[in-house]
Every structure is written in structure tokens, then in C-alpha cells.
Amino acid sequence: MTPAALHGHLHWLQHPKHMVAFDMVAKTFKQMMPPPVTTKFFANLLAMDKFLMASEFMDLGMDLWVMEGYGAMDERWELQHRIVLPWQLSATHKRPLLVKGGDDSDVIMGTTYGLGVYNAKSKTFRVVITVKPPDALLLSRNMLRESLSARRNHVDDIGGDLVYEILIRLPAKPLLRSGAVCKAWRRITTDPAFLSDHSRRRPLEAVLYSSKINLDDPINGRRRRRKLGFHRHRPPLLPRRRYAYFDEEDEYCVPLASCDGLLLLRKNAGDYAVCNPATRRWAQLPPPTRAAARDVWCTRESVFYFHPPSGEYRLLCHCTGTRRSYPNTTASYYVLAAGGLRRRRLGVQATPINSPAVPRDMSCTKLMAPAALHGRLHWLLHPESGLAGDVVAFDTVAETFTRMAPPPVTRKASADLLATDGCLMASEFTASSSVDLWVLDGYHGGGGAMVDERWCWQLRHRVVMPWEATISVPRLVAGGDDGDVILAVDGGGLGVYNVRSETVVGVEGLPWFVHRESLG
Amino acid sequence: MATGSGAAAAAADAEEKESGSRMITLTSNEGKAFVVTEASARQSATIRSMVDDGGCVDKGFPLPNVDSKTLARVIQYCDEHGNKEAHTVDERAALAKFDKDFIAELDADKAFLYDVTMAANYLHIQGLFALTTQCIADTIKGKTPEEIRTAFGIEYDLTAQDEEEIKEEDTHA
């Protein structure tokens, strides 16, 4: 459960009969009177307007309970709002996706069917968006990044181009129009560095990914088009939607990774596109396999990264196949550059996916989310890990792999590599609902394939998770800024552990689509 | 050695305590002198670094890129933000109100708004710069490219290829 923060305490509803509060100063837990909800799975705690509230999704809507007299002798829960939602909630689909406290008494709520805002003062409900299955609501990385802290301040980095500084403050649509003003402005608004800077400064956004028939399009009318919408998700939640369209293919289109605000999508097997949601520009990637040759039978997207010398955004693919001249299975790495016409084979050793040296429990999602540090990307499990199960580092400039000593974790499936506070770390979810954090001491990237013998893994932190649930599937561990480590568990919550202050803080809002930046 | 650095630190400390009450002279390009508190002048990162580097505080700071009218307005902002506290909710609200009124007044005179923006940029006054650039960005928001060109006096110089690209973007919009 996502904790609700109020009066210096974090609150969790662990069970309908069991609510705990964690004192952030004294670092102690205490029991509190639970709200009279029937099941915790449809219930949420949220803090709003200095009140602790509990929400519960019912058959036809949602109940909002408010705790009166918090901390006093007569603290009690009162049912103050019963909200009828415009979406029919079926028994199978009534799991709430999101309930959050916003500003000015707004309660943001979402189900699989839509997103709406209820205002507790005016007692009105406003539909922000209605989604029809099989569409889904997704959250972009900005949602996570920005909700973690309002940490991005640009103190003392002003100067330079005035126009740049003005345009960077524009929302996407006016920015797009500004690109049609003159050459100088166009140069700025199409510059990748500007666009990534712009996307970093954008407010929280929920990515809406849906497929709808677009009847407004005069040219392609009645043709099915998919759209990828970017929904501003900050109170006041105005129904302001921006869509990036692309022609529908037979297959679904999945967001695979993000890098500097660009999204990498896979439209079909081997058909990749890069989308800049701010400018709605699309760029096709060349196919990883040649159309004529059916020699490749397994393609794994390995990483989406920025290649500084060329200024290109590139996708690295690991392809296993059989070549006519060799009887055995071989593998290669191919580089696909956005806007490029042809794939390029990387002159490095590649291990076929069916080789015994390739780790069995290597997950594709983790492959696309390496830890970025010192211009290198690091994986705990990688096709090039070798029989020793080494950590693999990829130099994004030289485009070469290096093997490094693995961290002494017990189960790699529940472990992750992450970069935070200028350190390479390994995390492991242990059986006792805690997370171990190992740090690679003395690591500074190093030049080329050099491996320093003095680098060694040290167990530095043992973080006790505030969720009592048994942690079976760790969902996300990522390195944030300023020494933050982001922790999340399936069916659990999202928390941030700070390695400097050695404290855990719960974060509101459970994202169900999170992309870590490929390069920090 | 240890005592030497200790004494220097103590001296710097004393200077630090004194600095709050020091006055600093800023001179516009027309030679007009403005005397401000150090707290006010420290709103500018440019002046802050010059003060911290030591020396020239007594002689004052000539600002060859800023005219008197603009400097007076910039100082008005710096005084408000440098000399007043912003710890409580009320104090912050008062400052926010000041900013709102300040920018509303500037917004009425676009040419002057650009002058203040330029001065804020030159003097590295983060808060003021963010305020004025956001104000300019807001005026761009609702405009078509043609209207933007008129408002900012920009000449149309896009090539046929650019136009083609823009058309392409529009169909996706």
C-alpha cells in the first residue's frame, strides 16, 4: 500500500483491521484505528487538507472516509463522501488504479476505465478522461521523477540564449508552433539537447496509451489509428490531451524504454520507432533483421542509449541466428540509429541466447534498464555475463563491453544494479522484507576495458521495508538523484531510501508504468 | 600554520556577520548611483560572486549594460526579495503577491519587460529572470506563428523544406 503522509507520520493500511503509522522523526511504528473499509485491496489512504482519508471502491462508486480528531482521544472515522463514478465497475475490473490527494481538496481517482477528480469542498466529480478497454492508462517516467521530489532547481544556470530560456517554459503545443516562426527559433526547438531539457522541466504527466478510431482526420478518416496521449497530471486536472498518432499496425505497440524524454516503442516484432512526445515527432529505426534473410530467430532489445559522439539515439539489439556458411548458432549485436536507414553490426563478441553461458533468469525488462554511471551502462545479468556471471558494462562512446566482478548477492533474480549518488550499487530483496544495498567501492568508470582489482563490493545499507507483505517479486529498484534509491514491490508500495540520510520515505501514487532513464 | 588559518577564519567570520548591514553602490550606464543593502545586492549571482571574491565593495559596481530606469526596477525586485523574510506562509504569500503585481506592471510595457529580462540575465537574478521569461512565454502561448512574428518583430526566413516539415508535423498534431 502506498503510504499517506500527514503530521510527520506515514500511514499504511495493511489489512482492513490493521493500520500502522510510522513516525518519521522518532522512526517508530504505532498501531492506529483502521478505517471501516471491507477490503484493503480496494481501499487507499490519502492525506488531504490536513485530514487523513480512506477511500474504498464499491460497486457503483467510491466512499471517502475522513478521520476526525486525528491524534486526539476521540479520533474516529466518518463517512463523509459517497461518490458515484461514471464508470461501471465490474467485479473483475474494480481494482482501483490510482487514488491520490491533490491540491485544493481535489481527490484524483482512476480506474481501468478512466481518470476523474472529486472535489471534497464542492462535492463535485469531474471526469478527466474515460478509457474504453482494451486501452490502458500508463504513467510516464516524469510522474515518478517529479513526484519523488521537487528537486529540480535551476539555480545559477541561467544565461546563454534568452530565446532558449523563454521557449523552454512553453508547453508542448505552443512550442510546436514556435518552431514555425523563424529559422533561429526552429533551430532551437528541434535541437535534441533543447528537447531533452524541455522534457525534464515538464510537469508530471500520465501517458495515456490507447487505440481509437479517429474520425476527425479528414485525410485518413475512419482509418484506425493509435494514439499515444500525454496527459497533464497535475491539479487542476484539465482535460488537456496531447496525442501523437501513428498508423495502426496489426500488432500492439509497446513503450519499451525512455531516454532524455524520448520514448522507444515497438510496433511489431522488429519494427521500432522513437517518439518525442513534446514535439510529436516520430523517427523510424531500421529493422534489426534483413527482410530477405530469415537467419535471425531471436532478437532481444538490449538498450536504448544516447551516443554522444554522433548525437544519435541508438537501440542495441542482440540477435541470435544461423548463418548459411556456419552450421552453428551465432549471435551479433546490431546498432539501430533513429532515422538511420540500415542496421550496423557491432564488432564485439556476442554470445548466442541458447548458450549455457547466458543466464537463464535474465529478464528482458531489466535488460532494457541498465544502471548508468560514468558514461557506462551496467547489467547484473546480460548475455555477455559469461559462466562466472559477471556484471557487464557497456561504454556508450566506444560501444564495447567490459566484464566486472559480480556483487555477492544470493539470488540474482531478486537483485538489481543501480546508480545513485555517483556509486554503482547492487540491491537485493531478502526474505525478511528488507533490501540490502551493496556499493562497488573505488569504482570510477575507468578507461576502456580496464578492470581495477581494487574495486570491491561492500554491504553498506540494510533497508527495512515499511510493508509487511512477503516480497516475492521485486518490481523496481532504481537509483534516483541526490542519493535516493527508489524501491517498489508488486502489490506493495513505492518508497525512497536515501543513502545519505539513511531514511525511508513512502511516496504517494503507485505507478504502474515506470521507465528508468537509460542515461542519468 | 593552524593558528594562522584559524585567525583568518575568525576574521572571515566577523566579516560575514558584518556583511548584512553593509551598503553597496551600483552604477547604471548613465552614471547614476544606487545604494542598496548587501542582502538586496546578493540577489544577483554576478554581484554576489564579486562581493565574495573580496575587494571592490567600497568602490561600487559599474553596470555598463543597464540603464537607470531598468536598474531602478531591478533594485525594486531585489529589495523586496533580499531584505524581507520568507519563512512563514504569510510572508511567502506577500512575496508572491509582490511578484504578481510586479510582473503585471511590467507586462503592460513590453519593451521595458525585455530590458528587465536582459538585465536579470546579465546580473544573474534567478527569481526575476524566471518571472520575466515565464511572462514572455505566456504571451507566446496563445499566438499563431504569424502573430508571434508580428509581436516580436521577427522576419520570416523559413525555407521551403522547413515549411514541408512543419506541414508534416501539423498532420500529426
**B105: helix, strand or coil:** helix
Strands (E), A186-311: 205-213, 224-232, 241-247, 254-259, 262-268, 271-276, 281-284, 296-307
**B97 found inside a domain:** yes
Please state which of the ranges A94-108, B21-35, B61-75 shows the lowest mean pLDDT. A94-108
**More confident site: A464 or A509:** A464
Among A108, A71, A342, A338, CA closest to A232: A108
**B124 found inside a domain:** yes
> For residue A124, what pLDDT band results from cuts at 50, 70 and 90?
confident
How far apart, in whole angstroms, are the C-alpha atoms of residue B153 and residue A262?
Answer: 33
For position A390, what pLDDT does the model report?
Answer: 84
Locate the chain A residue with the closest alpha carbon to B46. A156
Nearest by CB to B162, from A166, A186, A281: name it.
A186
> For residue A155, what pLDDT band results from cuts at 50, 70 and 90?
very low
Q: Which three cell numbers stand for residue A399?
A: 560501444
**B170 found inside a domain:** no
For position A194, what pLDDT does the model report?
Answer: 77
pLDDT digits (tens, 9 = 90+) for B141-171: 888 888 888 888 788 888 888 888 777 666 5
Identify the structural domains of chain A with CATH numbers, from first to last. 4-127 (2.120.10.80), 142-253 (no CATH)
Across A55-64, A86-95, B42-51, the highest mean pLDDT is recorded for: B42-51
How far apart, in whole angstroms, are the C-alpha atoms of residue A139 and residue A126?
Answer: 20
**A476: helix, strand or coil:** strand
How far apart, in whole angstroms, are the C-alpha atoms of residue A315 and residue A284?
Answer: 11
Evaluate whether A158 touches B44 at the Cβ level (below 8 Å): no
Does B121 contact A165 at a Cβ distance shorter than 8 Å? yes
Nearest by CB to A245, from B134, B158, B172: name it.
B172
Residue A502 pLDDT greater than 60, yes or no: yes
The number of distinct structural domains making up chain B is 1
* Mean pLDDT, rounded, of chain A: 66
How far apart, in whole angstroms, are the C-alpha atoms of residue A449 and residue A202?
Answer: 38
| Full strand arrangement of the beta sheet holding A18-23 | A4-6, A9-15, A18-23, A28-32
What is the crossing angle of helices B68-83 and B89-107, to 10°? 170
Average pLDDT on A248-266 reads 61
Rg (chain B; Cα; Å): 22
For position A137, what pLDDT does the model report?
Answer: 46
Q: What is the CATH number of the domain that holds B149?
A: 3.30.710.10
Give contacts of B126 with chain A, Cβ < 8 Å.
154-156, 158
Given the C-alpha cell 490507447, which residue does it identify? A210
Please state which of the ranges A77-86, A108-117, A146-155 shows the lowest mean pLDDT. A146-155
For position A244, what pLDDT does the model report?
Answer: 39
**B37 found inside a domain:** yes
Evaluate whether A176 touches A170 at the Cβ level (below 8 Å): no
The shortest C-alpha distance from B1 to chain A (Å) reads: 32
Give contacts of A202 with chain B, Cβ < 8 Å.
none
pLDDT digits (tens, 9 = 90+) for B74-132: 999 999 988 877 777 788 888 888 999 999 998 888 888 888 988 898 888 988 998 99
Contact of B118 with chain A, judged by CB distance below 8 Å, is answered with: yes
Q: For residue B142, give its domain range.
A: 22-155
**More confident site: A374 or A270:** A374
Interacting residues of A152 by C-beta distance below 8 A, sequence separation 6+: A146, A200, A201
**B83 found inside a domain:** yes
Q: How many CB atoms lie within 10 A of CB A262?
A: 23
Average pLDDT on A239-254 reads 40
**B82 found inside a domain:** yes
How far apart, in whole angstroms, are the C-alpha atoms of residue B39 and residue B23?
Answer: 9
Give contacts of B121 with chain A, Cβ < 8 Å.
158-159, 162, 165
Picking from B110, B116, B123, B136 by the largest number of A CB atoms within 10 A of its own CB, the best residue to mutate is B136
For position A224, what pLDDT does the model report?
Answer: 37
Give contacts of A185 with chain B, Cβ < 8 Å.
154
pLDDT digits (tens, 9 = 90+) for A465-487: 655 444 444 455 555 555 666 56
Bond from prior residue into A383 cis (ω within 30 degrees of 0): no
Does B124 contact A158 at a Cβ distance shorter than 8 Å? yes
For position B102, what pLDDT does the model report?
Answer: 92
Residue B173 pLDDT greater than 50, yes or no: no
Does B173 contact A173 at a Cβ distance shorter than 8 Å? yes
Evaluate whether A353 touches A318 at the Cβ level (below 8 Å): yes
Locate the chain B residue with the closest alpha carbon to A180. B145
**More confident site: A449 or B32:** B32
**B16 found inside a domain:** no
Does A165 contact B156 at a Cβ distance shorter than 8 Å? no
The pTM assigned to this predicted structure is 0.48
For position A220, what pLDDT does the model report?
Answer: 34
**Most distant CA pair in chain A: distance in Å?**
82
**B8 found inside a domain:** no
